[in-house]
Amino acid sequence: MSIATSIQQLRSSLPEGVRLLAISKYQPIEALQEAYDAGQRMFGENHIQEMAAKAAVLPKDIEWHFTGHVQTNKIKYMASFVSLIHAVDSFRLLREIDKHAAKHNRTIDCLLQIHIAQEETKYGLTIDGCRQLLATEPWRELHNVRITGLMAMGSNTDDMHQVRSEFRQMRQLFDELKAAYFADEPSFAQLSEGMTDDYPIAIEEGSTIVRIGSMIFGSRGY
Ligand SMILES: *Cc1c(COP(=O)(O)O)cnc(C)c1O
């Protein structure tokens, strides 16, 4: 199936309130241009310099989302243009992003990444770690970053009950934090979850941004 057809089919299947983030990591410029020509404007990348290189040559009305692990020494390459950073998992990182955003007179939206899947990984906050961060760190003093929601990856498993229960926990955490810290902030509204293999479940459980790569662009060959 062509990139354009995949984009069109996906977009028409998404309920209102759910946005499609095309994950274009490792894809060549031509593939992104094809998606753009099919109307796609939100692209997600996992390597900062790759994203910056693509942003430099593609149309300026693209919204660039960074979905990879953030290396603090590379924030400077995206601080001027990134529109949402999905995988923030420490106060230290928030503070670094804030510092770079200030240099550009911007406020950068960030999601807190929660580690909810069964696989071991060094990235992402635990649910308690996230509660702890919001309860104890001076994040409200950072004026050039704004926490606009949560991000997670479901377990890499065929057990869709497991995946659903993870997304359900995310929704519960989102609601809890919304009530406790962001009740007056309509901008805290995003749940970034759901990829090619599990996005329909993520949507049923409240996702607002699905991050889809291989279903649009084909396999990345790794
Ligand atoms: C690669 C990636 C995706 C997209 O995965 P697909 O299975 O190709 O849809 C989504 N989110 C993150 C964080 C990724 O790294």
The pLDDT tens digits of the residues spanning 139-190 come to 999 999 999 999 999 999 999 999 999 999 999 999 999 999 999 999 999 9
pLDDT at 221: 56
pLDDT band at 122 (very low <50, low <70, confident <90, very high): confident
Output the CA 135–ligand 1 centroid distance in Å. 30
Helix, strand, coil % in the chain, rounded to nearest 5: 40, 20, 40
120: left (phi over 0), alpha (psi -120 to 50) or beta: beta
Share above pLDDT 90 across residues of the chain, in percent, rounded to a whole number: 95
Protein residue whose Cα sits closest to atom 4 of ligand 1? 213
* Backbone angles phi and psi of 171, in degrees to 5: -60, -40
Q: Which of 23, 115, 151, 201 to mutate to test the pocket of ligand 1 (most atoms within 8 A of CB)?
A: 23
Residue with CA nearest ligand 1 atom 10: 211
Tokens for 87, please give them: 């995988």
- Alpha helices for 122-159 (secondary structure H): 127-136
164 HSE (CA, 13 A, CB side): 7
- Which residue's alpha carbon is nearest to atom 7 within ligand 1? 196
Closest ligand 1 atom number to CA of residue 217: 8
Is the shortest distance between the CB of 163 and ligand 1 below 6 Å? no
> Would you say residue 95 has pLDDT above 70?
yes
Whether 27 contacts 40, CB under 8 Å: no
CA of 213 to the centre of ligand 1 (A): 6
- Give 200: exposed, middle or buried? Use CB within 10 Å, 0-12, 13-18, 19+: middle
Q: With contact defined as beta carbons under 8 Å apart, do 37 and 31 qualify?
A: no
| Residue 23 Cβ contacting ligand 1 at under 6 Å | yes
On average, the pLDDT of the chain sits at 97
| Ordered structural domains, the chain, with CATH | 3-217 (3.20.20.10)
Distance 184 CA to ligand 1 centre (A): 32
Answer yes or no: is the C-beta of 67 below 6 A from any ligand 1 atom. Answer: yes
Contact 111, 147 (CB under 8 A): yes
Nearest residue (CA) to ligand 1, atom 14: 67
What's the CA gap between 202 and 131, in Å, rounded?
22
